[in-house]
Structure 1
Amino acid sequence: MSIGPFLVKLGLTDLGLVLGLIVLVYFAWRRKKGLPLSVIVVFVGTLLLASALMLSGSGFVAPLPSRARAWLEFTTYLGVSFVLLKLVDLLVIEDHLIDRKGAYIPDVLRTLILLVGMTVAGLVILRLVMNINVIALVALPTVATAVVGVALRDTLVRFFAGISLGKMMRVGDWVSVMDKEGVVTDIGFGHMTLRTEDNDYVALPNNNVIQAGLINYSRPTTAHGCHILVEAAYRTPPAQVRTVLADAASAVGAVLADPAPEAMVEAFKDSGIQYRLRFWIRDYSKHQFIQSEVMTYVWSAFQRNGIEIPFPQRVVQTLMPQDRGVVLKRQADQIVAHLAKVDFFAILAPRQIESLASEARVQEFLPGEEVVRQGESGEELFIILDGTAEVRVRQDGLSSTVASLQGGQFFGEMSLLTGEPRTATVVALTPLKVVAINKQALSRVVQEDRSLVDRISGVVAQRHVEMAATKEQLSRESAKVALVSQKQSLMARIQNFLWGRTHR
């Protein structure tokens, strides 16, 4: 063979193999995975073997012995077969079936297909290149077949169990199996591997996993239902407790809004009523942390609503009366100071402010919990002692934040004075501590001096008119007319709310 045709033939052969490598590298890059080292080694070896095979038949070097040339051809064609089968695996199985069609084909099955393909290719090459009777080669003696079968029985069982496991779970799923719980990191020929919550790796035989059974927390969806049991004292109505439990779970950011949390009466116990709170989460890997957050929010909601969690007392701690008195006095002074900063309370006498403070309730909210909800009725004014809250208004299905409230600011005065529904939702952004003044406390103070209604109406009306004047640029005369109208309307609504329509 002359040098020209030989170089052309060698160049075309090498070009074909290089193009195959380029395709493999492209799919590896698109999958964001590195090309396995074994593929690169086989490809480079095949390229060298093909070049050596063509060079030995070109006449430019001494020819190889026939037997050596036959084995060289066999090895070269087997390497080419591996490259072609790997191309089919990436193009058909991974790109088309898995990525585009969404089919799940476990890695162990893909490896089996590759091994079967290589076996068939090897038998065909043995027959065509080396003239070996493959039928006689396959037909092993009966005794040898039995020995091999017995020796490989456990391996084969684990192998086919691994294929079955591929239908039940995938890499990345959270599962519980054989008293072990973790995320699946690999499903191999003989073992599956879990990474536990403590970041330890556990290898479990495939056949044992099939026999023991498993729970997959990631299928059919990643949404997972969690349950916690809570007891509450008998004196609190179950309907109220169920509502408080569901609202507390809804306030936790990691809890799904759909399906919504729900609480059910579970049992009547010796010390209280047991409730089951069910809620849904998306990330099972954080289920313990989320359950802890929900229980924290439940405790806070129970404290705020005066719901007792009954439990056997093991330790008795006595608070000295004088110490308790100091604590209560300090808290009362803080409440009085904040009440005096509210414009329509500032007109009250010190004794009247102290009377309001004595009936005030201090409440605490965790981040994400709603203090008041837009559209709901209410009879309380809230003054922020510590923390930050956000005012949200919902209109036409959209919610927008309109203000941020800090310590010393108040909200809900119109609900306290007139019983009007809440015009906005107030949500705690940080741990929030507020003092609540209700209708009954205000009624007792006003009942003693009914002229306070006229003065309170004047202060609130003045503030509303000033706000309207700023926004609408009202004239001085228009502002005076609006003030009189606002004051009369507000006074009538306050009297009607506090004493009913029969008041004169």
Structure 2
Amino acid sequence: MLTLFFEHLLNAWKPFYWPLIALNLLFGFLLWRVARRMLLHTLQGLVLFVVLLLVSVVAAMLDSGGLAHGLQETATIVLGILLIRLMALALFRLIMVRMGLHPPRIVEELLILIAYLGWLMARLSLAGLDFSGLLASTAVITAVLAFAMQDTLGNILSGLALQLDHSIHIGDWVQIDTVSGRVMQVQWRYTAVRTLFGEMVLIPNSTIMKSQVMLTGGLSAPRRLRTVNFYAGFELEPNKVVDIVVNELTQAEMPNIASDPAPICAVLDFADGMVCYVVRYWLTNPETPGSSDSLIRQHLYTLFKRQGWRMGAPSHNMRVSSTRSEPRQDLFEQETRQRLAVLKAVSLLSPLTPDEMHKLARGLRFLPYLKGSTIARQGDIGDCLFIITQGEVDVLVEANRQSRRLATLGAGQVMGEMSVMTGEPRRATLKASTDVHCHALGKADFEEILQLRPELAEAFAQLLTQRSQELQEVKSNMPTAHAAVQRADILDRMRRVFGLADGI
């Protein structure tokens, strides 16, 4: 029995099987790095080939010659199809990629299909099948099938057209009717689009060819213009609002929002008792429209808070009555205590009396900044100093056309005091490295106290001298002036700014 099995196996084994198996294994190993599952698929295909061949041997032993011959031809066709697939993948995924060529995937699949049909027809022809009679007898059936499958054929031809004319690339962001998302695949029958909500929508290719397609991101449209509306009252001058908003958004560092062209602001309408403004900006990452709009709104909110403006909304007349009154006095006292706590944490202000602290607390202004915002710019004339209560601020100095970070300031530290005390331009740029909460004190807040107690200028001058020497060393890398000399110079300028008598 075993001898008979091996005799039939030798009769079924063709000489060209060995080179075909060797080529399959060779291409499987070559493709392992770019398509790791191909080696497994190759082994599975070879196992199928061996099983079919062994079953054909068993059929021959049972005197089923027709079945054995059919199974042997099937095994040969499977072995050839496997090799065609691996050779095509090696051509398109290895050779062409290294040559810098990236043909459409549908072209690859079309050529593989043609090669499959050619191999199948060649084997059937060798088996004695007459194709001329077969084609003539199936002409009517082919026409009926073509009519019945006209939608499917339309999708296939549309998919081929989309790939060949490069109108839509994989990775492009598109909007087709009510579907908006990223193109993930362009197949024979459909195009797969993944929306921002994670759904995968399969759109028939023929529908795409008949519809208006809007490219909103990707290689074909690297950026997209978006708009954000906001409202303000009529008490604000529109030209002032537009200029300050543009300046704020231009100086801020905002991810996924283009800096060139810079965001713009314009008056959109007068409606519902408000002035409607619009911010237009270019989105560079189509995956983040919501978060980018939110970031613009956050910058607008913190800007309005710093300016003391009221951010409006469309209003309607309503009458609301309430029997409960707000404890305004308690809220005022709580806010005063919070402001005093901020001032007491600043060593610069330690010489002040409690009454003087209360006077400064009344003028303290809360100023929030988002990460990346510029708080003050080197060279500008400053009218206030800042006390950080939350977050971190980078102190940047520009010297020899280069920007260097001198220090990072945190909660409880003071910044911008040199300019407000001496009247000189800002010596450094202050930029929020995180979201920052700070309070501002202006020149007028200090003037009344210094007029009553001029000796406080001495304490302020000491700290200013230390900060000035640090900045000078970073800017010039040269020895600074003697501390006593520099302190006398700063004190003299403070007296001129605040109108203090000399020698006091």
Q: Could you state the TM-score of these two structures normalised by the residue count of structure 2?
A: 0.79
Say if 2:289 is the partner of 1:287.
Answer: yes
CA distance in 1, matches of 2:138, 2:395: 84
Structural mapping, 1:348-427, within 5 Å: 348-395=352-399, 399-427=403-431
Q: Answer with 41-50 or 159-168: which moved more.
A: 41-50
Alpha-carbon distance, 1:219 to partner = 3.0
Equivalent in the alignment of 1:92 = 91
Alpha-carbon distance, 1:304 to partner = 1.6
Alpha-carbon distance, 1:113 to partner = 1.7
* Matched AA of 2:491: M
- Alignment CA distance shift 1:23-1:242 (3 Å): farther
CA distance in 2, matches of 1:351, 1:489: 30
* Matched AA of 1:412: G
Work out whether residues 246 and 262 of structure 1, in 8 Å CA contact, stay in contact via their aligned partners in 2. no
Alpha-carbon distance, 1:436 to partner = 0.5
Alpha-carbon distance, 1:398 to partner = 5.4
Say if 2:141 is the partner of 1:144.
Answer: yes
Partner SS for 1:334: helix
Work out whether residues 340 and 361 of structure 2, in 8 Å CA contact, stay in contact via their aligned partners in 1. yes
Partner SS for 2:203: strand
Partner SS for 1:383: strand
Work out whether residues 55 and 68 of structure 2, in 8 Å CA contact, stay in contact via their aligned partners in 1. no
Alpha-carbon distance, 1:416 to partner = 0.8
Give the alignment partner of residue 433 of structure 1, picking from 423, 431, 437. 437
Work out whether residues 34 and 93 of structure 2, in 8 Å CA contact, stay in contact via their aligned partners in 1. no
Work out whether residues 20 and 83 of structure 2, in 8 Å CA contact, stay in contact via their aligned partners in 1. no
CA distance in 2, matches of 1:21, 1:427: 61
Work out whether residues 386 and 439 of structure 2, in 8 Å CA contact, stay in contact via their aligned partners in 1. yes
Q: Answer with 67-76 or 303-312: which moved more.
A: 67-76
Alpha-carbon distance, 1:323 to partner = 2.7
Partner SS for 1:364: strand
Equivalent in the alignment of 2:3 = none
Alpha-carbon distance, 1:417 to partner = 0.8
- Alignment CA distance shift 1:430-1:468 (3 Å): closer
* Matched AA of 1:308: R
Partner SS for 1:295: helix
Alpha-carbon distance, 1:100 to partner = 4.7
Work out whether residues 245 and 298 of structure 1, in 8 Å CA contact, stay in contact via their aligned partners in 2. no
Equivalent in the alignment of 2:47 = 44
- Alignment CA distance shift 1:132-1:163 (3 Å): same
CA distance in 1, matches of 2:258, 2:154: 44
Work out whether residues 383 and 420 of structure 2, in 8 Å CA contact, stay in contact via their aligned partners in 1. yes
Equivalent in the alignment of 1:232 = 232
Equivalent in the alignment of 1:255 = 256
- Alignment CA distance shift 1:338-1:231 (3 Å): closer
- Alignment CA distance shift 1:321-1:99 (3 Å): farther
Partner SS for 1:363: strand
Tell me, which stretches of 5 or more residues in structure 1 are unaligned? Answer: 473-478
Alpha-carbon distance, 1:214 to partner = 2.3
CA distance in 1, matches of 2:380, 2:323: 39
Equivalent in the alignment of 1:475 = none
- Alignment CA distance shift 1:433-1:139 (3 Å): same
CA distance in 2, matches of 1:190, 1:205: 6
CA distance in 2, matches of 1:396, 1:168: 49
Work out whether residues 176 and 208 of structure 2, in 8 Å CA contact, stay in contact via their aligned partners in 1. yes
For 1:166-207, what per-residue CA distance to the aligned partner results, in whole angstroms no more than 9, with x for missing partners?
Answer: 334344443322302233343333223333333333332221
Equivalent in the alignment of 1:486 = 486
CA distance in 1, matches of 2:137, 2:381: 87
The CA RMSD measured in Å over matched residues stands at 4.1
CA distance in 2, matches of 1:51, 1:14: 16
Q: Answer with 421-430 or 362-371: which moved more.
A: 421-430
Tell me, which stretches of 5 or more residues in structure 2 are unaligned? Answer: 1-5, 474-479
CA distance in 2, matches of 1:194, 1:173: 9
Work out whether residues 249 and 298 of structure 1, in 8 Å CA contact, stay in contact via their aligned partners in 2. no
- Alignment CA distance shift 1:70-1:243 (3 Å): farther
* Matched AA of 2:420: L
- Alignment CA distance shift 1:102-1:279 (3 Å): farther
* Matched AA of 2:91: V
Alpha-carbon distance, 1:320 to partner = 8.4
Give the alignment partner of residue 124 of structure 2, picking from 123, 126, 150. 126
Give the alignment partner of residue 298 of structure 1, picking from 297, 300, 304. 300
Work out whether residues 27 and 87 of structure 2, in 8 Å CA contact, stay in contact via their aligned partners in 1. no
Alpha-carbon distance, 1:307 to partner = 3.4
Structural mapping, 1:147-162, within 5 Å: 147-162=144-159
Work out whether residues 230 and 275 of structure 1, in 8 Å CA contact, stay in contact via their aligned partners in 2. yes
- Alignment CA distance shift 1:251-1:100 (3 Å): farther
Q: Could you state the TM-score of these two structures normalised by the residue count of structure 1?
A: 0.79
Equivalent in the alignment of 2:277 = 275
* Matched AA of 1:152: M
Work out whether residues 256 and 281 of structure 1, in 8 Å CA contact, stay in contact via their aligned partners in 2. yes
Aligned length: 478
